[in-house]
Structure 1
């Protein structure tokens, strides 16, 4: 039986800033921890590795010490070889050093947990033609090198271990300026490409921005939402330009890349954290206004981690109002929307068809269905 060599990298700080409304983790990890954020990258990787655990007898894991991968891999019973002694907590340089240490051993796949910053570190150091696949654990994930969900990443990796036919493609690595992001500006930049297992059902596309011809449609969507609003209910306003158009229609200040709370045409609170949101929605009639990520289809789990599983449950599935232009839905090429909340039971419970507001007096039904659940 041929041994499958798996490079394993975890960025322990990935995603820390999401739930506490810091819009990322670069240079703000200590602040995020002080605000109560809890590391979750290892849990995201554990979801992916669960699909490899039945195959561990044929897998050799190359990784870094401690939280970079060693601790989790040993805990799950994998055969582990530590190539790099990382600092605690590990840094971007630890990631780059570990990737370079893996190169002579030519792993069949490097599976890494992080966000766009982690993808950048790999892209700067990885050997040409080296297959890589990301487990989404960051706040912002614009790059096309990640699975749709952690489970989806695990499924693709397991297909490779079992020798199933998996083609490869070049996935773009993109990242944004987090300082500008926190100021409400999206400045994405192309950093290169990496070789990614091509399983279109499981691997996400590069995030796409809005198109100019959607502007008038967005205004129509905003008018429809405002007309439907009930003054007796409060509304959690998600991130993105489509929701921002609703706030503009109301004449309210908006946190483009955060989450606000409004009621009866008044702004109650801006840029709320997950904990603040939960406190404000529990026991109060609340609706959530949200849009999906263009090109990727994620409804939850990309740039809106303030909408925690507890917050979503408190609001309720039936009180989710989804906005999207027909162009945005068409760009998904019949792929369903995705929920990646970090709570697999909730992700399954959220599946089904939703009424999507696509214009004034115009709506369509569109499905949310995570790919890994099709295997169950």
Structure 2
């Protein structure tokens, strides 16, 4: 089997910097992560299917990750640049003869791959600020193991991106751009993100009341992105950031739309508790759109509270909630039964699992 690899080396840079995309993140000191996630996927693939032939792109668009993973490869394309959509599309064209194309990035990269009209199966390795599309594996490990077991059987998966109109109206929704053929391994695929607009009126507000009632004096609370945590802000009489991380203490806004570094400083200097909502349809708690909660931030936190409507949990069909911080030890420590607040004086015990744990 011939597997192609394309890495968007700037994917995910904007998350820790509190940006909603990757543009301008390097200037703010963000450290590239996509190459390392590509390396993790290749290691999982090669460990299970060492005879694979890998075709990739020169430099940080694939070559560097293959070298780091110790996987033999053949270079089939040398890009003029490494940060533009045109480079991704040209790389897809150059890798047109592979059996399976792995691409590393987020929803923007998925759109670029779709625009290039790949002829065969593809699979996304999640590395972007936004990973709402259904064409991604749940983790780099899952991408590698799925690629190793690929037998040619595929299914249609959606490519989506943030719906800017819905965002401006106060909803985190995603709109469809097209579909790609991906390996038929549903247990290892992220699935498409779904919005929270289907929740019955009052359910999100009842969750917000429960959260505010449980807040302790003198404790800082870092509220992750999403409409559910936004409702917590309304209950406090505060205007929070829909797609950012805000910190409150004693009913007042302590810091707005914080970066990973600012969040780390706060967590190291005072008792800090995270309040995180579940991404509908995917089940992610950490690692999708809230990269400010990095492993070094998660380690000193006093605790994590998870919020989800009953409808959102029911839509998972029994699948676990997922964490993908980028550190397998941190993810393992967060795994296990957890209490999820579903309403005022209502909660359920639900399983959290590392996205790198093979289902």
Task: Name the TM tier (shorter chain).
Answer: over 0.9
**Aligned equivalent of 1:16, options 8, 13, 16:** 13
Task: Give unpaired runs (5+ residues) of structure 1.
Answer: none
Q: Which segment is superposed worse, 47-56 or 36-45?
A: 47-56
Structure 1 partner of 2:348: 364
Q: Which segment is superposed worse, 77-86 or 203-212?
A: 77-86
Asked if the contact 2:276/2:307 (under 8 Å) is kept, the reply is yes
Change (3 A) 1:21 1:371: closer
Shift of residue 57 of structure 1? 4.7
Asked if the contact 1:23/1:182 (under 8 Å) is kept, the reply is no
- Is 1:284–2:270 an aligned residue pair? yes
- Is 1:347–2:331 an aligned residue pair? yes
* CA offsets 1:219-277 (integer angstroms, 9 cap, x no match): 11111111111112111111100011110011001101100111111111100000001
Shift of residue 81 of structure 1? 2.1
In the alignment, the residues of structure 2 paired with residue 35 and residue 361 of structure 1 have an alpha-carbon distance, to the nearest angstrom, of 42
Structure 2 partner of 1:215: 201
Task: Give the secondary-structure state (helix, strand or coil) at the position aligned to 1:172.
Answer: strand
Task: Give the secondary-structure state (helix, strand or coil) at the position aligned to 1:156.
Answer: helix
Structure 2 partner of 1:252: 238
In the alignment, the residues of structure 2 paired with residue 93 and residue 201 of structure 1 have an alpha-carbon distance, to the nearest angstrom, of 32
In the alignment, the residues of structure 2 paired with residue 39 and residue 371 of structure 1 have an alpha-carbon distance, to the nearest angstrom, of 21
Structure 2 partner of 1:89: 82
**Aligned equivalent of 2:107, options 116, 120, 123:** 116
Shift of residue 182 of structure 1? 9.5
In the alignment, the residues of structure 1 paired with residue 289 and residue 50 of structure 2 have an alpha-carbon distance, to the nearest angstrom, of 37
- Is 1:323–2:307 an aligned residue pair? yes
Structure 1 partner of 2:293: 307
Shift of residue 55 of structure 1? 5.3
Task: Give the secondary-structure state (helix, strand or coil) at the position aligned to 1:112.
Answer: strand
**Aligned equivalent of 2:185, options 177, 193, 199:** 199
Change (3 A) 1:150 1:325: same
* CA offsets 1:117-138 (integer angstroms, 9 cap, x no match): 110111111334x111000000
Asked if the contact 1:56/1:77 (under 8 Å) is kept, the reply is no
Task: Give unpaired runs (5+ residues) of structure 2.
Answer: none
Task: Give the secondary-structure state (helix, strand or coil) at the position aligned to 2:195.
Answer: coil
Structure 2 partner of 1:145: 135
TM-score, length-scaled by structure 2? 0.95
Change (3 A) 1:181 1:167: same
Change (3 A) 1:120 1:257: same
Asked if the contact 1:56/1:79 (under 8 Å) is kept, the reply is no
Count of aligned pairs? 359
- Aligned-residue Cα RMSD (Å) equals 2.0
In the alignment, the residues of structure 2 paired with residue 320 and residue 289 of structure 1 have an alpha-carbon distance, to the nearest angstrom, of 6
**Aligned equivalent of 1:135, options 125, 137, 145:** 125
Structure 2 partner of 1:37: 30
* CA offsets 1:134-181 (integer angstroms, 9 cap, x no match): 000000011100011111111101112xx5xx7421000011267996
Asked if the contact 2:328/2:354 (under 8 Å) is kept, the reply is no
Change (3 A) 1:371 1:287: closer
Change (3 A) 1:54 1:226: closer
Q: Which segment is superposed worse, 171-180 or 347-356?
A: 171-180
